[in-house]
Amino acid sequence: MMTPMRYVVLVLGIIISLHFILSFSHEEYGRATSISRLSEQFGGSKPHPPYENGVPEDYYVSTPPAAEGRRANATFVLLARNGDLNGVVMSMKQVEDRFNKEFHYPYVFLNEEPFSEEFKDRVQTLTDSKIEFGLIPKEDWVQPAWIDEARATEARKDMVEKKVIYGGSVPYRNMCRFNSGFFYRHELLQKYRYYWRVEPDVNFFCDIHYDPFLLMQDQKKVYGFTVSLYEYPATIPTLWNAVREFISANPDLVENDNAMRFISDDGGETYNNCHFWSNFEIGDLDLWRGEAYSKFFDFLDEKGGFYYERWGDAPVHSIGAALFAKKEQIHFFNDIGYRHNPFQHCPQGELHKKGKCWCNPKENFDYEWYSCLKRYDNLFA
């Protein structure tokens, strides 16, 4: 005959066994009953980046959503040439399949030359959304006449000898300058508030059943990214000197509670080379249109670094966002699986399942040695 104490031990053993079985077989149960979760509930949550809170459930829509549902004033933006057509089709098809077939946001295509009829026909077959094709004004694209061509030529030659990627390319520099300070001024974008930048030959791995534009709008975010990394120092040797000069002359334009700690480890004395990889951006166009960034870009442009060096739009945008926005207004889209060769962000755990992502979760750049995501996380530590 079993004593009462033996019954108690038996029952406890059964309960503990069930707990371990459920913890391993049901991830949500394991997470909910973990020591860290229980300690948060009883001792208060620890500081953490906002993206770890996830997207509120009320942003997710049924499939298909109501055509008259709430929408942001937003568009996709693609800078492309006619020769990029196959890569554009690949990227755009994934945007449609993963997201836009439910939300029907328009597209703006920009090119320094007129788009061919073949280009227009092929992209228009991919979507029911409105598409506009814009020509970039020559003065917004080509190297300015005031640039000292002899100096610029010598700089390109030096970079080629040092095997700096795109070191000898003038068109690449034109593109970087245009994306840094002119794309948002194009007439076709004037009617929009938010944009999603898409490039040829990229991958979108996960279904997105909520509207990132509305998330940006409602939570007053101004810049969103998926990948962050270090810039190649040889392309920007004097960029930070120019940034410090601008800050010194315009301290009133720098936002309080900014993200300086993402881009500098010593309070702004030096640049740590971290930037958001700008081939993916979801942003508020008013950030770039505002007084602070407008003056900032014009100041940098006058230095000539886009041509005398090889300043990229990624560090320029990233420094601008870090200085002129509050840190809470910069958002990591942890749930959007994305690849621009050779780096990719692949959502982990439940986000991978929820998005039905087809990327390998083991191939994720987030915390590799060359990633800057940990610095972003530390803004909120």
What angle, rounded to 10 degrees, do the helices at 313-324 and 291-303 form? Answer: 140
Tokens standing for residue 183: 């794309």
Per the residue annotation, which of 96, 231, 281, 309 is the catalytic one? 281
Helix, strand, or coil here: 181?
A: helix
Distance of alpha carbon 205 from alpha carbon 227, whole angstroms: 14
From the CA atom positions of the chain, what is the Rg in Å?
Answer: 24
- DSSP labels, 64-77: SPPTTS---SEEEE
* DSSP element (H, E) containing 78: strand 74-79
What is the spatial distance between Cα 214 and Cα 102, in angstroms, rounded to a whole number? 14
CB 307 within 8 A of CB 147: yes
Helix, strand or coil for residue 204?
strand
Annotated catalytic residue 281: yes
Distances (CA, A) of 303 to 73, 250, 253, 323, 358: 34, 16, 19, 19, 44
Distances from the Cα of 241 to the Cα of 93, 213, 249, 268, 269, angstroms: 42, 35, 12, 10, 9
Token pair of 28 as six digits: 């949500």
Strand partners, 74: 194
Residue in the block written with tokens 């371990």: 20
Q: Is the peptide bond before 49 cis (omega within 30 degrees of 0)?
A: no
The string over 222-235, giving b where at least 16 C-beta atoms fall within 10 Å of a residue's C-beta and e elsewhere, is bbbbbbbbebeeeb
Distance CA 289, CA 185 (A): 8
Pairing of strands 338-340, 330-332: unpaired
d(CA 235, CA 160): 11
Pairing of strands 107-111, 131-135: parallel
Please identify every residue annotated as catalytic. Answer: 281
